[in-house]
Amino acid sequence: MSDLLQLIISGLMVGSIYGLIGIGFTTIYNVTGIVNFAQGDLAMIGAILAITFYGLSLPLALAILLSVICVGVLAAIIERLAIRPLGNSVMRGIIVTIGVGSILQGVAISGWGTQAYSLPAFTSGGPIPVLGATILPQTFWILGTTVVLMVGLYLFFTRSYLGKAFRACAINSFAAQIIGIRLNNIRVLGFVLSGFFGAIAGIIVAPIALTQFDSGVAIGIKGFVACIIGGFGNPIGAALGGLILGIIEALSSGYLSSGFKNAIAFVMLIGFLVWKPTGILGELEK
Q: Which residues bind another protein (CB under 8 A)?
A: 35, 82, 85-86, 90-92, 94-96, 98-107, 109-110, 114, 217, 221, 224, 228, 257, 259-260, 262-263, 266-267, 269-270, 273-274, 277
Question: Phi/psi class of residue 125: alpha, beta or left (left: φ > 0; alpha: ψ in -120 to 50)?
Answer: left
Q: Are 15 and 244 in contact (CB under 8 A)?
A: yes
Residue with smaller CB distance to another protein, 37 or 54: 37
- Specify the 3-state DSSP secondary structure of 128: strand
- Minimum CB separation of residue 259 from another protein in Å reads 4
H-run or E-run covering 113: none
Give me the half-sphere count of Cα atoms (radius 13 Å) on the Cβ side of residue 234. Answer: 22
Cβ distance to another protein smaller for residue 95 or 128:
95
Cα–chain center distance at 197: 6
When the beta carbons of 114 and 124 are compared against another protein, the nearer one is 114
Smallest distance, another protein to C-beta of residue 74, A: 14
Nearer to another protein, 78 or 135 (CB): 78
Q: How far is the CB of 264 from another protein (least distance, A)?
A: 9
CB 211 within 8 A of CB 44: yes
Cβ proximity to another protein: between 95 and 130 the closer is 95
Measured from the CB of residue 22, what is the shortest distance to another protein in angstroms? 13
Residues 6 or more apart in contact with residue 182 via CB below 8 angstroms: none
Smallest distance, Å, CB 285 to another protein?
A: 17
